[in-house]
């Protein structure tokens, strides 16, 4: 073990709420109550672990985090404690290791994460975990991100002296619509059980049998089917729980991850989009303790397949004698301008979407201004929220739409519908919404001389439109949104849009320019700067400053039920948080 550099000796006794802890020879200070494993992590001494998860209770069952620990022996009465070279009380090392995950640091404690004892113990635990493990890595989805693989390389023995038959257990068990179980791979860390019981309030998982025959199962008559079931796949440290959706689709080492925001509802759960080339294979939650903790709902997570859809619009099109013909972007944009410029503002309507980014909405507003119309709105999507993350507002950016367009989402739709049905609208721009799916009648749409659709998928309203502009999907764009709690968040481009589809914000910008507006905005950063100058809530912000975790920009009294409960458990010391 290389001797770590010695820290300067702490001169005065630490403040009441800090304790001195020696980690691998270095004295550091930590707040009282810090778990040993977190202290080691802060000291850049990662302790391998399986069952510990900061958002779940700590059963201490895997024993992977065992470390050598010591405390200064209590001096005999009247005697001064012996001091080490830093002037700290000398540590009396315990003969037995302790778990770092559930124990908290104490004044004068010593932790050795690399000592012979610690390493021997880890080897032993690794060996035990592997003797009955099927080691079918070549066909296991977890391969490449498997903690068992990782730690066995680092801490394993590299050979097997196991001469017995392995315990056989059920494989390929159907435990729910989206999650599949391989019991032989399960290392019985109980993370999934704790998640379903503690976070999802649906305690459907449990162990049956005992000893080495212990088997994870769903309770009789129950299924793992709640809307948060796929989080168990994320936290399973091995390939025991796999996602039906992702199963056998792709080896994980070919995937690149991009930070994004879920579009499924106004919560805006932070996530990573995993893609190979321009195909998305899965999405996983990304930790954000102000939004979604470490979790996300199944519905949101799986709602990416449309991005890969074969019905994507790939070229701008203009109708000629009732038939759509592919055209160039330049001609398509000009066609829109030709249709709209010169038409009276009250004969134009823009029906945009609260699924658009702030930057896109900025241009929607510009466009409305230049066309002189007040008929601008977005389509609200009110559904039901749950008691966890999912928000009742199923639009990801209603707050952005409200802030930027300056009106309550949906407040002008009745008026626009009325004008449309009376044949008063000559130009309607449907931006990011399929009007036939949003309560508009076909016969009314047919009355519009110039119906323009900007969308990503071929649909019936696009079919009706004179001009069709293919935009890009959330995973293909950069931009920002404001979630239901008023948090401004950023998304990044994970894949490229198909064919000749373009960034939606650029299409809108070009429309503004073609309709006589001014240019000068060439990047999302530029657009955001303009927004920051115009929208008081964004004052002082830049696109970069939003950061990976977002910033609060609006006061809302929205509480996030799941996070409130996590805060309570943290306050009680049940979880680290």
Partner 1 sequence: MAIQYISGKEPHAREKRLIFKNIDRVGFTPSIDSFLEDGGYEQLKVALKMEKSAIINEVKASGLRGRGGAGFPTGVKWGFIPPTNTKPVYIICNADESEPGTFKDRYILHQDPHQLLEGMIIACFAVNAKLGYIYIREEFPQAAIIVEKAIAEARAKGFLGKDILGSGFDCELYVHRGAGAYICGEETGLIESLEGKRPYPRIKPPYFPAALGLYMSPTIVNNVESLCHVKHIIQMGGAEYAKLGTPNNTGTRILCVSGDVQKPGYYEVEVGKVTMGEVIDVLCGGMKPGRKLKAIIPGGSSSKVLRADEKFKLKDGREIGIMDIPMDFDTMAACGSMAGSGGVIIMDDSRSMTWVINNLNNFYAHESCGQCTPCREGSLWMKKISDRIVSGEASPDDVDSLESVANQIEGKTICAFGEACSWPTQSFIKKFRDEMKGDCKPELVGEIVSDEGKVAAAGLAA
Please tell me whether residue 40 binds ligand FES under the rule CB under 6 A.
no
Neighbours of 11 (CB within 10 A): 6
Cβ(177)–Cβ(225) under 8 Å? yes
Task: Please give the residues from 258 up to 317 whose contact with partner 1 meets the rule CB under 8 A.
Answer: none
CA–CA distance, 506 with 359 (Å, rounded to integer)? 10
Residues of span 82-111 touching ligand FES by CB under 6 A: 99, 101
- What is the closest distance, in whole angstroms, from the C-beta atom of residue 271 to ligand SF4 in the complex? 7
464 binds, among partner 1, ligand FES, ligand SF4, none (CB under 5 to 8 A by kind): none
- Evaluate whether 478 touches 330 at the Cβ level (below 8 Å): no
What is the nearest approach in angstroms of partner 1 to the Cβ of residue 120?
9
Residues 353-412, interacting with ligand SF4 (CB under 6 A): 389-390
With contact defined as beta carbons under 8 Å apart, do 281 and 231 qualify? no
Binding partner of residue 450 among partner 1, ligand FES, ligand SF4, none, CB under 5 to 8 Å per kind? none
Judged by DSSP in three states, 206 sits in strand
Q: Strand order of the sheet with strand 241-243?
A: 173-174, 179-181, 241-243
Q: Which is nearer to ligand FES, 35 or 324 (CB)?
A: 35
235 binds ligand FES (CB under 6 A): no
> Could you give the string, one character per residue 179-218, with x where binding to ligand SF4 holds by CB under 6 A and - elsewhere?
-------xxxxxxx-----------------------x--
Q: State which of residues 56, 66, 468, 512 lies at the interface with partner 1 (CB under 8 A).
A: 66
Q: 171: which residues sit within 8 A by CB, 6+ positions away?
A: 182, 183, 184
Number of H helices and E strands in the chain, helices first, is: 16, 24
What Å distances lie between residue 125 and 57, 117, 128, 129, 228, CA to CA?
21, 12, 5, 6, 31
Asked if 151 touches ligand FES (CB under 6 A), the answer is no
206 lines the binding site for ligand FES (CB under 6 A): no
Choices 60-68, 476-484, 493-501, 554-562 (CB under 8 A): range interacting with partner 1: 60-68
220 lies in the binding site for partner 1 (CB under 8 A): no
Distances (CA, A) of 136 to 126, 132, 140, 142, 213: 16, 12, 6, 10, 19
Q: Give Dmax (Cα) for the chain.
A: 104
Distance CA 20, CA 30 (A): 7
- Looking at residue 523, what DSSP letter applies? S
Find the shortest distance in angstroms from Cβ 205 to ligand SF4: 7
How many chain residues are in contact with partner 1, going by CB under 8 A? 49
For ligand FES, the binding residue among 35, 63, 178, 191 (CB under 6 A) is: 63
Binding status of residue 23 toward ligand SF4 by CB under 6 A: no
Which of 331, 488, 306, 315 shows the shortest CA–CA distance to 397?
Answer: 488
Query: Is 426 among the residues that bind partner 1 (CB under 8 A)?
Result: no
* C-beta of 149 vs 293, nearer to partner 1: 149
By CB under 6 A, tell whether 269 contacts ligand SF4: yes
Interaction site with ligand SF4 (CB under 6 A): 186-192, 216, 236-238, 240-241, 262, 264-265, 267-269, 292, 296-297, 299-301, 389-390
Interaction site with ligand FES (CB under 6 A): 49-52, 60-65, 99, 101
């Amino acid at each position: 073990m290389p001797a770590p550099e010695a820290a300067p000796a702490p001169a005065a006794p630490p403040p009441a709420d800090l304790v001195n802890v020696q980690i691998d020879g270095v004295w550091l200070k930590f707040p009282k109550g810090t778990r040993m494993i977190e202290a080691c992590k802060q000291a850049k001494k990662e302790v391998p672990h399986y069952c510990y998860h900061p958002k779940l209770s700590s059963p201490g069952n895997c024993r992977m985090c065992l470390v050598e620990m010591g405390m200064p022996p209590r001096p005999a009465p009247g005697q001064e404690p012996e001091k080490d070279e830093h002037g700290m009380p000398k540590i009396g090392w315990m003969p037995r290791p302790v778990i770092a995950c559930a124990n908290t640091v104490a004044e004068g404690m010593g932790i050795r994460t690399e000592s012979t004892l610690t390493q021997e113990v880890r080897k032993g635990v690794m060996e035990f975990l592997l003797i009955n493990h099927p080691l079918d890595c070549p066909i296991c989805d977890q391969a490449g991100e498997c903690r068992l693989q990782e730690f066995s390389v680092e801490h394993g023995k590299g050979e097997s002296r196991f001469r017995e038959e392995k315990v056989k257990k059920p494989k390929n068990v159907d435990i729910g619509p989206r999650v599949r179980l391989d019991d032989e791979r399960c290392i019985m860390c109980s993370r999934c059980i704790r998640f379903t019981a503690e976070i999802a309030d649906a305690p459907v998982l449990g162990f049956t049998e005992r000893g080495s025959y212990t088997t994870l199962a769903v309770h009789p008559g129950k299924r793992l089917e709640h809307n948060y079931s796929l989080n168990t796949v994320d936290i399973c440290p091995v390939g025991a729980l796999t996602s039906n959706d992702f199963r056998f689709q792709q080896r994980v080492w070919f995937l690149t991850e991009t930070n994004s925001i879920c579009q499924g509802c106004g919560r805006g759960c932070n996530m990573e989009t995993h893609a190979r080339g321009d195909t998305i294979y899965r999405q996983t939650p990304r930790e954000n303790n102000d939004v979604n903790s470490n979790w996300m709902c199944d519905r949101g997570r799986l709602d990416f397949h449309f991005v890969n859809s074969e019905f994507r619009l790939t070229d701008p099109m203009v109708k000629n004698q009732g038939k759509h013909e592919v055209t160039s972007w330049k001609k398509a944009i000009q066609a829109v301008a030709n249709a709209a410029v010169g038409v009276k503002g009250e004969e134009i309507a823009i029906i945009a979407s609260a699924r658009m980014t702030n930057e896109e909405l900025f241009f929607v507003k510009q466009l409305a201004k230049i066309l002189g119309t007040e008929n601008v709105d977005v389509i609200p999507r009110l559904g039901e929220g749950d008691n966890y993350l999912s928000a009742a507002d199923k639009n990801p950016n209603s707050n952005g739409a409200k802030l930027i367009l300056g009106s309550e989402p949906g407040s002008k739709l009745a008026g626009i519908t009325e004008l449309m049905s009376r044949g008063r609208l000559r130009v309607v721009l449907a931006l990011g919404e399929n009007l036939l799916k949003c309560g508009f009648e076909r016969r009314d749409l047919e009355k519009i001389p110039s119906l323009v659709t900007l969308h990503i998928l071929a649909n019936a309203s696009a079919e009706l439109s004179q001009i069709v502009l293919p935009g890009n999907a959330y995973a293909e764009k950069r931009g920002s949104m404001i979630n239901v709690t008023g948090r401004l968040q950023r998304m990044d481009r994970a894949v490229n849009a198909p064919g000749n589809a373009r960034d939606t914000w650029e299409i809108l910008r070009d429309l503004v320019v073609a309709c006589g507006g001014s240019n000068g905005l060439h990047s999302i950063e530029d657009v955001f700067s303009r927004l920051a100058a115009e929208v008081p809530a964004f004052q002082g912000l830049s696109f970069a400053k939003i950061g990976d975790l977002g910033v609060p920009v609006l006061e809302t009294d929205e509480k996030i039920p799941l996070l409130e409960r996590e805060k309570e458990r943290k306050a009680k010391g049940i979880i680290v948080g």
